[in-house]
Homo-oligomer: A and B are copies of this chain.
């Protein structure tokens, strides 16, 4: 059997959560969109293969990646029995823009407007979206989608986008700051408002320590019926 990896790559442009897809330039299904993927090499772990594939497309290293699920239904690849281990990764979309490789025809799509994709990639994408929401509710992973310096309104709009909810900014900032994961900077971001919003940076050390703490960002999650 052939063994591949596929990467579900998320980015956030300040407005919407986006997904990076490549246009497939080989048969089968040439011309359709696809997740970036590749075969696992004989001497390679899955993690390495996924990191390699992501690097090849984006030029980025040390990216947040996590194994999502293995897909292996017979017939998922119409040509040959191929199993694929899907990974989801979160990147700072700005870094990508600088380092884009032109070897592939890649494009960002809002997660709400995914074009037709090959094989079972739509299932992978749905599963990844779901996992992102679940994980982000309890782990501070969304910072991985933001640049090093960001503002609270930016962070809030990211949470709002991902949960399709509008959050109260007073409650939001209190909750986020109470984690003491953020360090306020002296300078402000002044492009989106006249007054300007203070930048914050992530305290990487605390971030690593607290990563496994439950954070409970979803409002009303315990009221869900």
Which residues of A approach B to under 8 Å, CB–CB?
A: 1-3, 40, 42-46, 67, 69-70, 72-74, 81, 83, 85, 210, 212-214, 216, 221-222, 224-225
CA distance A216 to B137 in the complex (A): 13
What is the distance, in angstroms, from A7's C-beta to the closest C-beta of chain B?
15
CB-CB under 8 A from A67, the residues of chain B are: 69-70
What is the distance, in angstroms, from A18's C-beta to the closest C-beta of chain B?
26
| One of B46, B210, B213 near A72 (C-beta < 8 A) | B46
Known: A3-B72, A46-B73. 16 other contacts (CB 8 A): A1-B1, A1-B40, A3-B3, A42-B74, A42-B81, A44-B74, A45-B73, A46-B70, A67-B69, A69-B70, A70-B70, A72-B85, A83-B83, A210-B225, A213-B224, A214-B221
What is the distance, in angstroms, from A53's C-beta to the closest C-beta of chain B?
14
- Copies per complex of this chain: 2
| One of B3, B43, B69, B225 near A1 (C-beta < 8 A) | B3
CB-CB under 8 A from A72, the residues of chain B are: 3, 40, 45-46, 85
Smallest CB-CB separation from A41: which chain B residue? B74
Which 8 A-B residue pairings sit nearest by Cβ, starting from the closest?
A70-B70, A45-B73, A46-B72, A213-B224, A70-B85, A1-B3, A214-B221, A43-B74
CB-CB under 8 A from A216, the residues of chain B are: 222
CB-CB under 8 A from A1, the residues of chain B are: 1-3, 40
